Amino acid sequence: MTNLEVILSDRLHIAPSEIRSFCQRWQITELALFGSVLREDFHPAQSDIDILITFAPQARQGLSEMIQIKEELEDLFQRKVDCIVRDSIEQSQNWIRKRNILNSAQVIYPI
């Protein structure tokens, strides 16, 4: 079992098939985790999950869609999530934040 498979099954209690179905429904081409969920300081009862999303070019990405995506992910993971769209972080002027997120992100879809 890879480290990501352990994170999905042991920390997040979610099957890859659930993630695949979610991503296909929302036209997400890549879904990645970053932040404490990948580190030893992750606290199962308190930590949120940081998610980096890459959409297909034709996907709808308005405010309404992002709210629905966030709510669905919170239902899937049974905890709070913070979602960031890859395009927005790649255009960020905060190069330290951008570097930290992009360098640490671990792809969970597709795998």
- For 60-77, how does the pLDDT look when each residue is reduced to its tens digit (9 = 90+)? 989 999 999 999 999 999
Using the predicted structure, report yes or no on whether residue 1 has a pLDDT greater than 70.
no
Dihedral of alpha carbons 86, 32, 108, 21, sign: negative
Using pLDDT thresholds of 50, 70 and 90, give the confidence band for residue 7.
confident
Using the predicted structure, report yes or no on whether residue 106 has a pLDDT greater than 80.
yes
Give the residue from 39, 40, 54 showing the smallest Cα distance to 107: 54
Give me the number of domains the chain comprises.
1
Q: What is the CATH number of the domain that holds 37?
A: 3.30.460.10
Q: Is 19 exposed, middle or buried (0-12, 13-18, 19+ CB in 10 A)?
A: buried
- % the chain with pLDDT above 70: 99
What range does the domain containing 66 cover? Answer: 3-109
* Mean pLDDT within 2-29: 89
Query: Mean pLDDT across the chain, nearest whole number?
Result: 93
